[in-house]
Amino acid sequence: MRGLDRTLKLPGGEAVAQFGLGTWRMGESKARAAGELAALRAGLDAGVKLIDTAEMYGEGVAEEIVGHAIAGRRDEVFVVSKVYPHNASRSGVAQACARSLKRLGTDRIDLYLLHWRGNHPLAETVAGFQDLKKAGKIRHWGVSNFDVADMEDLFEAGGDGCAANQILYNLGRRAAETGLFALCREHRIPLMAYSPLEQGRIPKSPVLAKIAAAHKATPAQVMLAWVARHKDVMVIPKSTSTAHLTENIAAMDLVLSVDDLAQIETAFPAPKRETPLDML
């Protein structure tokens, strides 16, 4: 199966692409906007079927860029966006979603996430999400940056309908493996790994270099393949150049051997005890 054709299932059974395009830090500079739009369009042209954004990114400008990218091809793309915690009251979620829909130029968001936990009661946020789902404004809802205790509180607040949890996860950020992975798998909730390349800060590791050379790949591709080895984890690296986009997409076809994984485990070990989730 071609890397871009790899999918995973949401709790309700819908298949969603495992690889997507991240947009964090897009929309922050008018000078870069044209290049950012071109990169998203190139990704869609290459067959990418998922884009992740948020009202926080560029204070809405990233959503506008995504809207331009998906114009005329909305049905090809699974769109993910996120609501600020301070907008996550029952009525606030509805108002924030309306603004996001306008910026995105669409009538629905496929997956709408609470960006991180804030002061509004989770039961209010969940009720707001359920209202939006009933109205057809969103198709699924979920959370982001939720650790084990947060997820447990979410379930107690009536959040059994959570479809995904987006977290910081990469070779150097493995706290999720100490408890969150198991909990989400128990509830069949997939994870979305943001910053799988640690925002481009690729470790200068002899192990990564050696494995990359053996596969005629790059260390960045090894990092992405390592995250994507989990069949229930979406990978959403950001790319603002065609070269990086091509490199990231090709990483989805890279299969690491048992020996590769053992070497990586030795060089980048997971925490040995339960560790709080990292967040950028």
Amino acid type, 255: V
Distance CA 95, CA 75 (A): 24
Read out DSSP for 232-259?
TEEE--B--SHHHHHHHHHHTT----HH
> Residue 243 to residues 28, 81, 99, 104, 251: CA-CA distances in angstroms?
22, 25, 33, 26, 13
Distance CA 125, CA 154 (A): 10
Are 109 and 138 in contact by the 8 Å Cβ rule? The answer is yes
Asked if 112 is an active-site residue, the reply is no
For tokens 């994984």, the residue is 261
Burial of 22 (0-12, 13-18, 19+ CB in 10 A): buried
Distance CA 33, CA 234 (A): 25
Angle at alpha carbon of residue 71, lines to 79 and 35, rounded to 5°: 85
Q: What are the residue numbers of the active site?
A: 57
